[in-house]
Amino acid sequence: MKVVDIKIKELNSIQREAFSNAVKENQELNLSYRVVEDDNLVEIGVDGKRTVLRQSRFKTVKLNIVNRTFILGK
């Protein structure tokens, strides 16, 4: 098993890239996708139209973490 140290900045960058890739794939396949915005579950259609489906079951929380390192193992 290879252990990799990843800083929060890098982890956020990886997450943003994965999300943008998923959105691009959905658009290419003419699929809608769902995201949580302002504690609501929102469906974003192929044409970009946003529809609020319902309130999310879980609240979104912003974490303020300074100088933390995460270790990911495979």
Q: Tokens at residue 38, please?
A: 């302002």
pLDDT at 54 over 80: yes
Please state, in angstroms and rounded to a whole number, the distance separating the CA atoms of residues 16 and 36.
15
pLDDT at 56: 83
Q: What is the C-alpha to C-alpha distance for residues 59 and 8, in angstroms, rounded to an integer?
A: 21
The pTM for the full model equals 0.61
Percent of all residues in the chain with a pLDDT value above 70, rounded to a whole number: 78
**Mean pLDDT value across residues 43-52:** 92
Please, which pLDDT band fits residue 7 given cuts at 50, 70 and 90?
confident
